Amino acid sequence: MRELIDKAKVIALELKQAAEKVVTIKEVDDLRVQFMGREGCLTLLIKELKDLDSLAKREVGPVLNQIRVDATEIFRRLKEDIEKREAEAANMREKGFDVSAYQPKGRPDGTRHIYSKFIEDIEDIFMSMGFSIFDGPEVETDFYNFQALNIPQNHPARDMQDTFWFEKDKKLLRTHTSNVQIHAMQKYGVPIAGVCTGRVYRYEATDATHDCMFTQCEGLLVDKNVSISQLLGTVKKFLQRLFDSKKLKIRVRPGFFPFVEPGLEVDMSCVFCKDGCSVCKKTTWIELMGAGLVHPNVLRAVKVDPEVYSGFAFGVGIERLAMLRYGIDDIRLFHSGRVKFLQQF
Ligand code: FA5
């Protein structure tokens, strides 16, 4: 009899300890089977009651019964707590659980992408010079990417920028940010001064300095009596600020772009050497951007009178600028997603 009571007390203690470790409803059910199932340890103990004489039964019976009642209450409470917790979690998920609340140990901190930082630097410089920031579509029509920029259908100049076309609606991925010149003048009219940074796409083979998707910065200023000297002053000031060098010089060569006349190629003096290095290919000059005075046909396309207004425009590859500023030797690294590369900035 004494032995039965002791066994019952051990079982009660074991149940209490096991109950503290239970987390899911399934674990509660498994524990119930282990203790109170047909072959459960408490059930088997209670079965042993029938072998006792009536005096012993009267003494042991209430003890075992109390343990059975307590065990039933433990299982009921466990289930109730777990169900309540699960309902709360589901409720949180529905309300939009704040993922930032979860902070696993050792999570590496992210940083802003070099593109974002560099583009912000460029925009800051132009904003401080009084330029606005424009935006424009990357999926474009033939009109904005070519025709309004004085590049008619079948004109040989179209071969300068190999294009990705959409077959369905004859749209294209813009080949340059010059499309924004047209959108901006249509939207805001003239006089106007702004820059646009954004992605452009060209159907061309990639190498260390060419990509099929890259970023350009386009500048446009249209007003009365705009001259080439204002274009050169703007470009020089911008580059001096970007490369933090007051000594930086620029030079221009004739260049052909159908949307400017005259068209120019702008080079900047090498910021890495005085008498020739591998970056400037021993010339002390680095080829940088296209520029020029806005072609009268472009002004006409947006119903601006070229007899009254004139303007300048320029376009530069942002990756090429960043490669120079940070000493990056392969343009493809920018969107390679390589953590080691990104962590440097
Ligand atoms: C243009 O795209 C003209 N829209 C620029 C312009 C604007 C001229 C306004 C006149 C007035 P171009 O194709 O040369 O021009 O490209 C301009 C710059 O983009 C280049 O100087 C270079 O820095 C960069 N670039 C061109 N092709 C690539 C390429 N495949 N990968 C990376 N950068 C490139």
174: nearest Cα among 143, 205, 133: 143
Rounded average pLDDT over 207-232: 96
Q: Domain of 79?
A: 2-94
Q: What is the mean pLDDT of the chain?
A: 91
pLDDT > 90 fraction of the chain, expressed in percent and rounded: 65
The reply to whether ligand 1 has any atom less than 6 angstroms from the CB of 179 is no
For the ranges 42-56, 97-111, 116-130, the lowest mean pLDDT is seen at: 97-111
Region 244-270: what's the mean pLDDT?
95
One-letter amino acid for residue 206 of the chain: T
Instruction: Give the model's pLDDT for residue 255.
Output: 97
Is the pLDDT reported for residue 234 higher than 90? Answer: yes
pLDDT of 292 over the 80 cut: yes
User: Model confidence at 141, in pLDDT bands (50, 70, 90)?
Assistant: very high
Whether residues 118 and 87 share a domain: the answer is: no
HEC string of the chain? CHHHHHHHHHHHHHHHHHHHHCCCHHHHHHHHHHHHCCCCHHHHHHHHHHHCCHHHHHHHHHHHHHHHHHHHHHHHHHHHHHHHHHHHHHHHHHHCCCHHHCCCCCCCCCCCCHHHHHHHHHHHHHHHCCCEEECCCCEECHHHHCHHHCCCCCCHHHHHCCCCECCCCCCEECCCCCHHHHHHHHHHCCCEEEEEEEEEECCCCCECCECCEEEEEEEEEEECCCCHHHHHHHHHHHHHHHCCCCCCCEEEEECCCCCEEEEEEEEEECCCCCCCCCCCCCCCEEEEEEEEEECHHHHHHCCCCCCCCEEEEEEEEHHHHHHHHHCCCCHHHCCCCCHHHHCCC
Between the CA of 302 and the centroid of ligand 1 the distance, in Å, is 23
Question: Is 149 among the domain residues?
Answer: yes
183 lines ligand 1 (CB under 6 A): no
Residues 171 and 52 in one domain: no
For residues 290-297, average pLDDT: 98
Structure tokens at 77: 């409470």
Q: What is the pLDDT of residue 31?
A: 92
Q: Are residues 50 and 123 in the same domain?
A: no
- Measured by CA distance, the residue closest to atom 30 of ligand 1 is 210
Query: Which pLDDT score is estimated for 116?
Result: 92
* Residue 333: pLDDT band with limits 50, 70, 90: very high
Same domain? 173 vs 208: yes
Q: Which residue has the higher pLDDT, 131 or 330?
A: 131
Q: How confident is the model at residue 107 (pLDDT cuts 50, 70, 90)?
A: low
Q: Please tell me if the CB atom of residue 241 comes closer than 6 angstroms to any atom of ligand 1.
A: no
Q: Choose from 253-257, 270-274, 328-332 the range with maximum mean pLDDT.
A: 253-257
- The residue from 94, 123, 147 where one domain ends is 94
Confirm or reject: Cβ of 319 under 6 Å from ligand 1: yes
Q: Summarize the confidence of residues 298-312 as an average pLDDT.
A: 98
Residue 260 domain-assigned (yes or no): yes
CB of 35 shorter than 6 A to ligand 1: no
Residue 321 has pLDDT above 70, yes or no: yes
Residue 238 has pLDDT above 70, yes or no: yes
Radius of gyration of the chain (CA): 38
Question: Can you give the pLDDT at residue 344?
Answer: 87
Q: Is 108 a member of any domain? A: no
Residue 109, in any domain of the structure: no
Mean pLDDT of all residues in 111-138: 95
Closest atom of ligand 1 to 264 CA is 10
Minimum mean pLDDT among 16-25, 228-237, 259-268: which range? 16-25
Are residues 63 and 132 both part of a single domain? no
Number of domains in the chain: 2
**Average pLDDT over every residue of 296-301:** 98
CB 292 less than 6 A from any atom of ligand 1: yes
CATH number for the domain spanning 146: value is 3.30.930.10
Question: Is 315's C-beta closer than 6 angstroms to any atom of ligand 1?
Answer: yes
CA of 316 to the centre of ligand 1 (A): 6
Instruction: Give the Cα separation of 278 and 212 in Å (integer).
Output: 25
Establish if 102 belongs to a structural domain: no
331 and 288: one domain? yes
Looking from the CA of residue 177, the nearest atom of ligand 1 is 4
Q: Is 103 domain-assigned?
A: no
Q: What value does the mean pLDDT take over residues 315-340?
A: 91
CA 267 to ligand 1 centroid distance, Å: 13
Q: What's the confidence (pLDDT) of residue 288?
A: 92
Which ligand 1 atom is at minimum distance from the Cα of 204?
30
Q: Is residue 268 part of a domain?
A: yes
Which residue is closest in CA terms to ligand 1's atom 14? Answer: 290
Q: What is the pLDDT of residue 237?
A: 97
